Amino acid sequence: IPITAGTHNFTNNNVIRTFVSVVTDPDDTYTVLNTCLEKDYVYEFVKPFLGDSLIAAKVPLWKEQRRLLNPAFNQSLLDTFMGVFNSQSRKLVQELGKEAGKGPFDHWIYARHNALETVFLTSLGVDFSQTDLSKTEYLEALENMFSTMEERLVKFWLHSPYTFAFSDVKKRQDESVKALHRVSNTVLQTRKAELNRNVSDERSLKYQGTFYT
CA distances 170 to 156, 160, 198, Å, are 14, 12, 41
Q: In the chain, helix, strand, coil percent, each to 5?
A: 70, 10, 20
The reply to whether 15 falls in a domain is: no
Q: Look at the chain and report how many structural domains it folds into.
A: 1
Is residue 149, in this structure, part of any structural domain at all? yes
Q: Is residue 20 part of a domain?
A: no
In the prediction, which pLDDT does 40 show? 83
Indicate whether 29 belongs to any domain: no
Query: Packing angle between helix 82-97 and helix 108-119, nearest 10 degrees?
Result: 160
40, part of any domain: no
Taking the whole predicted model, whether its pTM rises above 0.85 is answered as no
Q: Is position 35 within any domain?
A: no
pLDDT at 29: 83
Query: What pLDDT does residue 209 have?
Result: 58
CA distances for 38 relative to 21, 46, 54, 58, 161, angstroms: 18, 15, 12, 7, 20
Separation CA 49–CA 146 (nearest Å)? 10
Residue 155 lies in a domain: yes
Rounded mean pLDDT for each run of 10 residues along the chain, 213 residues in total: 50 53 82 82 89 86 86 84 93 93 90 89 77 78 93 93 95 94 83 78 63 52
Residue 196, domain extent: 75-210
Decide if 43 is inside a domain: no
pLDDT the model gives residue 88: 93
| 151 CA to centre of own chain | 19
119 vs 124: CA distance, rounded Å = 7
